[in-house]
Structure 1
């Protein structure tokens, strides 16, 4: 009986490891400052962001097959502008697209914004990126590197949906 369980366990592991999928539904964003600017770097799994953009932009988008082009960039910019907001000392930051790169299963997109003030007292972030896919386990993680400090915010779909809290604030 134990031998049968061990054999089935190995077969199950082999079967599931032979498929090309990622078990996590998450995005990661890095926020930093330099030269009087804020810099954002978003990282998305290509299948998650492809599905979301297809749903929100009215056309089929497959980053793995078709790559990242100007139309997809425009669609992504429009999508992010309605799902991600950041303010410094209650002054909204208007981010501008800078660059993108597609590396295997991950799309990395970079943005910049003018730093609205020299003295940062508070940073407020709203992040519902990819929450419209209704992945119960969806997490958005933001690493914030400001004022020689590193802060990490986690936006969890289940918790945000349950509490109605989609915005977090950090005070310096």
Structure 2
């Protein structure tokens, strides 16, 4: 009986939530504060390609906190302004080194994928790296329980690690 009641409440919240006029508190919306960075070396074009996956509501809050400006990643008319904010945020919170050389990273763009946002960046052309170091402090400006998972793939070899707040650096040798 209790399960049926809780399920009914959940469905009511899902159906009526958008009409309530305010967002739920982020801590109660989803208590897991996690992002992923998937760093892959593209053997064909010689670039390191990075795909971030971040909960949209958390990312918007982090952007608002850092830039003191309203953010809405899902509004098409705000996409250009959001591109600037997202690019600047990543510049401040993510870096890559390949074989001890800091890489300039180019922002490619972002897209909404259900309740998450995927953000794409890439390096310029480099030789296949033997060692990759990542600095990742994404959402550290928002949560002190943030977990950032970093996957790195070179020539088919994938290595993964987690960075529990306040940790920000991971190095993998290939």
- Output the TM-score relative to the length of structure 2: 0.79
Whether 2:91 is the aligned partner of 1:81: answer: yes
Query: Which of residues 135, 145, 153 is equivalent to 2:153?
Result: 145
For residues 44 and 17 of structure 1, what CA distance do their matches in structure 2 show?
25
The answer to whether the 8 Å contact 1:93/1:115 transfers is: no
What secondary structure, in the 3-state scheme, does the structure 2 residue paired with 1:42 have?
strand
**Aligned-residue offset at 1:47:** 0.2
Match of 2:19 in 1: none
CA gap of 1:94–1:17, structure 2 versus 1, over 3 A, is: farther
Match of 1:170 in 2: 172
Query: Which of residues 102, 108, 115 is equivalent to 2:118?
Result: 108
Whether 2:34 is the aligned partner of 1:26: answer: yes
- The residue correspondences of 1:35-114 to structure 2 (distance < 5 A) are 35-64=45-74, 66-67=75-76, 69-114=79-124
For residues 147 and 8 of structure 2, what CA distance do their matches in structure 1 show?
27
**Aligned-residue offset at 1:92:** 0.7
Whether 2:9 is the aligned partner of 1:15: answer: yes
Query: Which of residues 140, 143, 150 is equivalent to 1:134?
Result: 143
- Output the TM-score relative to the length of structure 1: 0.80
Gaps of 5+ in 1: 1-6
What secondary structure, in the 3-state scheme, does the structure 1 residue paired with 2:129 have?
coil
For residues 73 and 125 of structure 1, what CA distance do their matches in structure 2 show?
22
Moved more, 99-108 or 142-151: 99-108
For residues 102 and 53 of structure 1, what CA distance do their matches in structure 2 show?
15
What value does the CA root-mean-square deviation take over the aligned residues? Answer: 2.1
Gaps of 5+ in 2: 15-28
**Aligned-residue offset at 1:19:** 4.2
Q: Render the CA deviation track for 1:98-157: whole Å, top value 9, x for unaligned.
A: 1321233221111111243x2422111111100111242x21112211132011121112
**Aligned-residue offset at 1:77:** 0.9
CA gap of 1:43–1:81, structure 2 versus 1, over 3 A, is: same
